[in-house]
Amino acid sequence: MTNLVSIILAAGEGTRMKSTLPKVLHQICGQPMLLYVLKAVLSAGCRKNYLVVGHKGKSVIEALRNFLPLKKKGIEFVKQNKLLGSGHAVLQVKKNLKGYRGNVLVVYGDLPLLTAGTVNRLVQAHYKQDNSLTILGATLEDPSGYGRIIEKGNGKEIRIVEERDATPDERRINTVNAGVYCFRAEDLFKAIDKIRPDNRKKEYYLTDTVKILRDMGKKVRMVTTKDSSEVEGVNNRKQLVSVQKYVNMKNLERLLLAGVTIVDPSSTFVDSTVKIGRDTVIYPGSTILGKTKIGENCKLGPHAFIENCQIEKGVEVRASFIYGAKIAERAKVGPFSHIRPGTFVGEGVRVGNFCEVKKSRIGKGTKVSHLSYIGDAFLGKGVNIGAGTITCNFDGVRKNITRIGDNTFVGSDAKFIAPVKIGKGAVIGAGSTITEDVPPGKLAIARARQVIKDRKKKKKIKR
């Protein structure tokens, strides 16, 4: 909408979160809660968006930069140096909107469940009714913690009372202020200039503009949400968990409708940023996080943990941890494997029980058997890694590389003292400790010769 801008209030510390992290940066299914609010506002068509930051403002800005191209989205940051309330926060944007004659959407930054549809309903009602101010309200069974909206004269007289300032009778009202407003810009700043900190916290409440505008003869009305869950704010860790459960279930519903099988949604967690192809099956106890992208026809779990990975079609991951890795088609990982960042697991590779792979490249069809550690290594195609094999990559100063050529056979309990290079088609004897390069097609055995000796007769000890 060409004549609509937004102000998002994200300056507060959020003391009830008991955290060093600004409240709006606490994550919900892989994204800061502020980002959910911002996306709803952008979807509503605001051409310019002002984010008011205060407590650890630089951290808020940097966090958003990791998710959005801020300049392309018309996002500008405004600093609130002294945290003197919501009215004072909006006042910081006054100079940015000098001469602006449109409408201003004001939203609190801790409403991650707010949807673009509800924002649009509010704005459309504002335009249609030609209001000076339109408030988003909601009806809750338990209104505790929210400011109450008090109506008289069939909605023609509205006022908002913060809970801390409400009387016992007013606290029994279950129509609450959602923290979303649409103002006529020129009326907004006239009203804000008249706000006084006449309350228990000595702050400038944005909600005081309701009475001020009404006293000025301006038209103030309310729109009520169709889904009261949208106004569920986050003020403490308990509320954070509640909101995250809701968002996670929405993520799972989206995947189910897209053709993904989730055996037990109640024990499955998937971030909002994850993409999963159809006919993939997710078994109970699995967690998929970050910018993970998973192809079709995969089998994940039970108890798979996957974060920031690219997994191609037909992959199986059983009871394993995978971070920052790429897994090619039809590979099998686990159970109880650990794939660390920077690893590429090639097509048809098998990484077996209790294996760890770190910053390595494993070629097509290679098998890494159980109880092995592969670190800083390049394994070719069709390699067999026997059980208990270790690449000794760290010499106490630097990480060194092990290179193993195509179709090499490595016996169980072999150790490669990196840096070392094994040629194509070589055979490494079980139990060998390889300290030098092995030419292609050669057999390398590096272990002490077995010696058999007679046992000495034990002398009887007299008591």
Q: Is 124 helix (H, G, I), strand (E, B) or coil?
A: helix
pLDDT exceeds 60 at position 1: no
pLDDT of residue 155: 62
Average pLDDT over residues 231-249: 94
CATH of 249-444 among 3.20.20.150, 3.40.640.10, 1.10.10.60, 2.160.10.10: 2.160.10.10
pLDDT exceeds 90 at position 163: no
Name the nearest CA neighbour of 379 among 318, 336, 331.
331
The answer to whether the predicted template modeling score (pTM) of the entire model surpasses 0.85 is yes
Question: Percent of the chain at pLDDT above 90?
Answer: 81
pLDDT band at 57 (very low <50, low <70, confident <90, very high): very high
Query: In CATH, what number does 4-231 get?
Result: 3.90.550.10
pLDDT band at 2 (very low <50, low <70, confident <90, very high): low
Q: Tell me the pairing of strands 103-108 and 175-184.
A: antiparallel
The strand pairing partners of 106, in sequence order, are 7, 181
Distance CA(120)–CA(136), nearest Å, equals 11
Residue range 175-222, pLDDT digits in tens? 999 999 999 999 999 999 999 988 778 889 999 999 999 999 999 999
pLDDT exceeds 70 at position 98: yes
Q: Is 415 exposed, middle or buried (0-12, 13-18, 19+ CB in 10 A)?
A: middle
pLDDT exceeds 70 at position 463: no
Q: Which residues are catalytic?
A: 370
Domain boundaries, the chain: 4-231, 249-444
Distance CA(67)–CA(116), nearest Å, equals 19
Residue range 120-156, pLDDT digits in tens? 999 999 999 999 999 999 999 888 888 899 988 766 7
One-character DSSP codes across 180-221: EEEEEHHHHHHHHTT----STT----TTHHHHHHHHTT--EE
